[in-house]
Amino acid sequence: MPEENKEHEKKDDEANTAPLPERVCVGGGPEYVLDRKLGKGGFGQVFVGRRVQTTKAKDGPNANLMALKFEHRTSKGCNYGPPYEWSVYQSLGGVHGIPKVHYKGRQGDYYVMVMDMLGPSLWDVWNSQGQVMSQEMVACIALEALSILKDLHLKGYVHGDVKPENFLLGQPGTPNEKRLYLCDLGLATRWKDSVCGTHVEYDQRPDVFRGTVRYASVHAHLGRTASRRDDLESLAYTLLFLLKGRLPWQGYQGDNKGYLVCKKKMATSAEMLCRYTPPAFRLFTEGVVNQKFDEEPKYEAYMKLFEPLCGPSPNRPIITEGAVKVMVGQKRGRDAGDDILDDGALPKKKVRLGLPATQWITVYNAHRPMKQRYHYNVANTRVDQHVEKGNDDGLYISSVACCQELWALIMDAGTGFTAQVYSMSSQFLPKEWIMEKWEEGYYITAMAGSMSGSSLVVMSKGTPYTQQSYKVSDSFPFKWINKKWKEGFYVTSMATSHTRWAVVMSRNAGFVDQCIELDFQYPSEGIHRRWDAGFRITACAATPDQSAFALSVPRRRPMDETQETLRTSAFPSSHVKEKWAKNLYIAGIAYGRTVS
């Protein structure tokens, strides 16, 4: 086990075994005696605290019962200082629907937060009602949850873990028993810079996941920076779970559960997900799953979708006055819901609409006029003659791909290589042959794999590389890539064989920065954001389920940085000739998962 995991395990063990104090008094507040355990949240555990000097108050700072949240000083949420969650609650003081923190401080080995005592979670309510919830109740939850999230987002935060367990009702028998609250801010992050007010920068770290697998947004699964769209996508899944009692991706088990759930979410359309529900649920879901990273959500319009389903105001199962204030405060005129009801609220460039497809992906770079040649549908027995003919004409292989056990070869005169060898092997990849060629001064410059497990690996001399390493993995090896980045390596080639990945990383690759875009369809939004930041695609590969792109910033920028991508069902022979006429040449090619 890696040392860092051992350390985390040690910390968690310490936090789980350290005795809790029987009495608590922090932050100048009254003394409380620990009562029953309410549950666990984030990195801590929550208990009922009963005031030693009893009062009749049921809420506020003098309430007889409080919720006490304990976090051990060594927990991941504390990092040997006050819990991160404390600062979030402090920033959100007074926000509608967020529980109030009345006292906080450290006692012994624990940081303690004394908060409003609330009632059951929506999960508890759903469970106690025979795992059924009325349409009226769910619509009211939608209305008020949107109002709470709007206020939370206005403060510059995203919650990061929206789910039924984190929505609580007020204490039974109090005026707030029908009021909705959103708790557990341990995973909250800023979407807006606290100093200059700008939106946080987009990034993707496929090895980082925050949230709860069942309700997390697809972007959270893929490790993208959290933004407002993620809370709303999680809310859509929460509402549909409460209304229908089950989500299509429940039941997956094992180490790759997150991968399978994300894949299923991507493959399930809003129409399929919302079948047999009122149109409001489909329109809301479709709108939020297609929202762009930094797009302003249409909270009021979404609220107006659900409002007609909530029933008459005085008798509603959830108090919706927060949402009503938002909608009443909106300008009169064209109904804010009109945009959604006629499907106009969906972004013009849709992020996730479209059918998953298997296509050719070609990447074109601007280059001064040069000779380039392509061959496709090439059987194993024909590769030799195409390569020999190309070599005789001064061309070397620059890219390879595989479709239905037949190879595609791109050969051109702009590689700068001085010699080249290749291997067609039944292995993915031929380790012994690669090691032998490394010894002779060759480096991997292109590779592809077939669905049956065979591979075509091209190695060349005349590259700038000084060292090379590769990894073959059953899942995309981002953790390994991240480790090698720190050692000065950059991704220079990628290939797939059915669902397996092979990634080659090289030292002295001529890059100063690099990132990865990985998606279950096609990361169009991410690629465009990276292009805007000065990155260009330098390697790509795709399985039947995912496509991945390595985007890099070159040490020496070319005079013309134009780059285009193309997705086609058939090999793009006619398109290639059109690109050549504009001095755009194939720089990368793959066959696999995209979106039509």
Binding-site residues for ATP: 69
* Under 8 Å between Cβ of 408 and 442: no
**How many residues are listed for the chain in this entry?**
596
Give the Cα separation of 444 and 459 in Å (integer).
4
What DSSP character marks residue 121?
A: B
What is the distance of C-alpha 289 from the center of its chain?
12
Query: Within 10 A of 254 (CB to CB), how many other CB atoms are there?
Result: 8
Residues in Cβ contact with 550 at an 8 Å cutoff, skipping those fewer than 6 apart: 490, 491, 494, 514, 515, 516, 537, 538, 539, 540
Q: Which two tokens stand for residue 384?
A: 């030799």
- Reduced to 3 states (helix: H, G, I; strand: E, B; else coil), residue 366 is strand
Residue spans of beta strands (DSSP E) within 286-381: 356-366, 372-378
Whole-Å CA distances, 500 to 127, 455, 475, 548: 41, 12, 6, 12
Q: Which residues are annotated as a binding site?
A: 69
Give the Cα separation of 283 and 339 in Å (integer).
10
Peptide bond preceding 429 in cis form (omega within 30 of 0): yes
Residues in Cβ contact with 302 at an 8 Å cutoff, skipping those fewer than 6 apart: 142, 146, 232, 284, 287, 288, 340, 345
* Under 8 Å between Cβ of 510 and 555: yes
Is 161 a residue of the active site? Answer: yes
* Under 8 Å between Cβ of 358 and 400: no
What is the distance of C-alpha 520 from the center of its chain?
11
For 455, phi then psi, to 5°, come to: -145, 160
What is the amino acid identity at position 214?
Answer: R
Closest CA to 146 of 268, 280, 248, 249: 280
Pairing of strands 406-412, 396-403: antiparallel
User: According to DSSP H, which parts of 245-379 are helical?
Assistant: 257-267, 270-273, 279-289, 299-306, 321-329, 338-341
Give the Cα separation of 314 and 483 in Å (integer).
58
- Reduced to 3 states (helix: H, G, I; strand: E, B; else coil), residue 158 is strand
Residue with tokens 């959103």: 182
Q: What DSSP line would sit under 521-575, residue for residue?
A: S--HHHHHHHHHTT-EEEEEEE-SS-EEEEEEEESS--S---EEEEEESS--HHH
Give the Cα separation of 181 and 149 in Å (integer).
10
Q: How far apart are the first and last CA of the chain?
A: 42
Give the Cα separation of 317 and 313 in Å (integer).
9
- Reduced to 3 states (helix: H, G, I; strand: E, B; else coil), residue 77 is coil
Of the candidates 161, 184, 231, 519, the residue annotated as catalytic is 161
Question: Looking at the annotation, which residues are catalytic?
Answer: 161
